[in-house]
Homo-oligomer: A and B are copies of this chain.
Amino acid sequence: METRKEQKERRRQEIIYAALELFVSKGYAATKVTDIAKRVNMSTGLLFHYFESKEKLYEELVRMGLEGTAYPAGQACEHAIDFFIQFTTQLFVYMQQQPVMAKMFVLMAEAQRNEGTPAHIREIAMQVNTIEQFVPIVEWGQREGTIRDGDPKVISNAFWCSIQGIAERYATNQEIDLPQAEWLVDIVRKK
């Protein structure tokens, strides 16, 4: 049997998950708390027993996204380009195996980009700054000759935005398969 505390925690998770799905598919502003409540089969009022407000619920999701973000570290790779391959492959595997992950990914990107995001939540989301993270790796690859020439920031940006564009679609519609990681890595690879 499930203790009351456990049950409460489970219910909380259900809400969080439902909110994640809705925020990603319709956006935070367009999602009504009644939508969330409906999806987990509870009265709207009860949702406020679990979360102080719609905004707090959003904040919690973004915090979870921040916690769960793995920062890229390339030590294990011989070449910079291998790092990109590993990273992308890994990301795509996760996205396929754990749809939640893909959704969280998109939620964070949304929270960062969207100017409608409440300021304090946006700040939290902004702590994940992947483009910057990739810059030194691009520079390393350029010294090596495995990554194409050009402004490292622009290259890093091109790669990352592409990943995001793909994740964004995949998160809400798995009809079309994810591409091969190599295809995307070719954005940065030197020929």
A interface residue numbers (CB < 8 A to B): 25-31, 113-116, 131, 148, 150-151, 153-155, 157-158, 161-166, 168-169, 172, 176-177, 179-180, 183-184, 186-189, 191
Contacts of A26 in B (CB 8 A): 29, 114-116
How many copies are assembled?
2
Chain B residues with CB under 8 A of A183: 148, 155, 158, 187-188
Taking a contact as CB atoms under 8 Å apart, the answer to whether B31 and A113 are in contact is no
Partner of A162, one of B25, B148, B150, B166: B166
Question: Does A151 contact B177, Cβ atoms closer than 8 Å?
Answer: yes
Contact of A30 (CB < 8 Å), options: B114, B131, B169, B184: B114
Q: Quick one: given A28-B30, A187-B187, are A169 and B161 in contact (CB under 8 Å)?
A: yes
- A166, B176: Cβ atoms under 8 Å? no
Contact of A184 among B131, B151, B179, B187 (CB under 8 A): B187
- Residues from chain B with Cβ under 8 Å of A161 in the complex: 162, 165-166, 168-169
CA separation between A131 and B151, bound complex, in Å? Answer: 30
Given contacts A153-B176, A165-B163, contact A27 B158 (CB under 8 A): no
Docked-complex contact A158 and B166, CB < 8 angstroms: yes
Can you list 23 A-B pairs, Cβ within 8 angstroms, ordered by A? A25-B114, A26-B115, A27-B27, A27-B114, A30-B114, A30-B116, A115-B172, A154-B176, A155-B179, A158-B166, A158-B183, A158-B184, A161-B162, A161-B166, A161-B169, A162-B166, A162-B184, A162-B187, A164-B169, A183-B188, A184-B187, A186-B189, A191-B191
